């Protein structure tokens, strides 16, 4: 078991955001973490990334409680792509990707191995050709690929992505999720927050839906078309049909 959440709760001051969250993630799974605005998706991702400590319950990674992991140990295993990353830093794409190597090489400069890993990650994400361009000169889709490459350069076993495709055009969204599916096929576990139900149904292996401060549905994509109770957690106006190829597809009524 790569990641386990046991009765996890989180409270910000007096406001309870999450309670009694239970789920596990295995290597190679591609989990879509969904829910309406304010359901606690980003908060849960932050808890898993170690950015915040749960106020109740326990999270463990690799069967070891998260609080026993040092910051750099954790950074060698878990990579987190925040929802908003500053775009106007005056550095090149390659320099940003090399930042992903920080937990692997804490000294003054990166080694040739680090450069190699960064290059490999950039090739995989299709952004090697703009390695020398400044981050501020890239389009939204190009920048997202560079950020993803920075996460992959970290060589994580668990990838956490907070709305990786939200500001991308359709084609870039498909490319982004295709890349993530490939990473999952390599054995990396991915948890991606997304609002796009069809992207999740097409690319992910499992849906985890947060509602009422906890996990309200946790189902494999293969059964998502049969049991449709999870749909009402989003809106009463959704129906599942099947595409001509037999894939489940959510449409609006």
Rule CB under 8 A: is residue 74 a binding residue for other proteins? yes
Rule CB under 8 A: is residue 67 a binding residue for other proteins? no
Those residues whose C-beta lies under 8 Å from the C-beta of residue 236, and which sit 6 or more positions away, are: none
Q: C-beta of 135: minimal distance to other proteins in Å? A: 9
Question: Which span (48-56, 137-145, 201-209, 212-220) binds other proteins, by CB under 8 A?
Answer: 48-56
Cβ density class 150-172: b for 16+ within 10 Å, e for less: bbbbbbbbbbbbbbbbeebeeeb
SS3 253: coil
Candidates 1, 51, 58, 239; binder of other proteins (CB under 8 A) is 51
* Minimum CB distance to other proteins smaller for 12 or for 239: 12
Rule CB under 8 A: is residue 15 a binding residue for other proteins? no
Distance CA 177, CA 166 (A): 11
Rule CB under 8 A: is residue 106 a binding residue for other proteins? yes
Q: C-beta of 19: minimal distance to other proteins in Å? A: 20
Distance CA 140, CA 145 (A): 9
User: Are 160 and 81 a contacting pair, CB within 8 Å?
Assistant: yes
| Residue 204 DSSP one-character state | -
Distance CA 165, CA 247 (A): 21
Candidates 4, 43, 60, 79; binder of other proteins (CB under 8 A) is 79
Residues 168-197 contacting other proteins, CB under 8 A: none
User: Are 45 and 191 a contacting pair, CB within 8 Å?
Assistant: yes
Rule CB under 8 A: is residue 102 a binding residue for other proteins? yes
Rule CB under 8 A: is residue 43 a binding residue for other proteins? no
3 state SS for 160-199: EEECCCCCCCHHHHHHHHHHHHHHHHCCCEEEEECCCHHH
Residues 138-167 contacting other proteins, CB under 8 A: 154
Candidates 14, 37, 63, 90; binder of other proteins (CB under 8 A) is 90
**Do strands 238-242 and 3-12 pair parallel, antiparallel, or not at all (unpaired)?**
unpaired
Question: Which span (21-29, 94-102, 117-125, 179-187) binds other proteins, by CB under 8 A?
Answer: 94-102
Rule CB under 8 A: is residue 95 a binding residue for other proteins? yes
Distance CA 118, CA 32 (A): 26
User: For binding to other proteins (CB under 8 A), which residues are involved?
Assistant: 46, 49-51, 71-72, 74-76, 78-80, 82, 84-86, 89-92, 95-96, 99-100, 102-103, 106, 108-109, 154
């Amino acid at each position: 078991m790569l990641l386990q959440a046991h009765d996890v709760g989180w409270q910000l001051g007096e406001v309870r955001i999450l309670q009694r969250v239970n789920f596990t993630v295995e290597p190679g799974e591609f989990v879509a973490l969904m829910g309406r605005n304010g359901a606690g998706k980003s908060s849960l991702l932050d808890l898993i990334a170690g950015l915040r400590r749960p106020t109740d319950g326990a999270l463990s990674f690799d069967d070891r409680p998260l609080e026993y992991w040092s910051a750099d140990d954790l950074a060698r295993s878990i990579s987190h792509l925040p929802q908003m990353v500053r775009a106007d830093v005056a550095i090149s794409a390659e320099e940003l990707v090399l930042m992903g190597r920080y937990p692997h090489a804490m000294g003054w400069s990166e080694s040739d191995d680090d450069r190699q890993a960064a290059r490999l990650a950039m090739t995989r994400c299709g952004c090697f050709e703009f390695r020398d361009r400044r981050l501020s000169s890239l389009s939204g889709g190009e920048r997202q690929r560079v950020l993803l490459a920075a996460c992959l350069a970290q060589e994580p076993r668990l990838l956490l992505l907070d709305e990786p495709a939200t500001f991308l055009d359709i084609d870039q969204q498909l490319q982004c999720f295709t890349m993530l599916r490939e990473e999952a096929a390599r054995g990396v576990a991915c948890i991606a927050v997304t609002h796009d139900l069809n992207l999740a149904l097409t690319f992910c292996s499992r849906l985890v839906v947060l509602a009422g401060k906890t996990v309200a549905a946790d189902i494999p994509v293969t059964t998502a078309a049969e049991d449709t109770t999870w749909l009402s957690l989003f809106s009463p106006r959704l129906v599942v049909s099947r595409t001509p190829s037999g894939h489940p597809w959510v449409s609006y009524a």
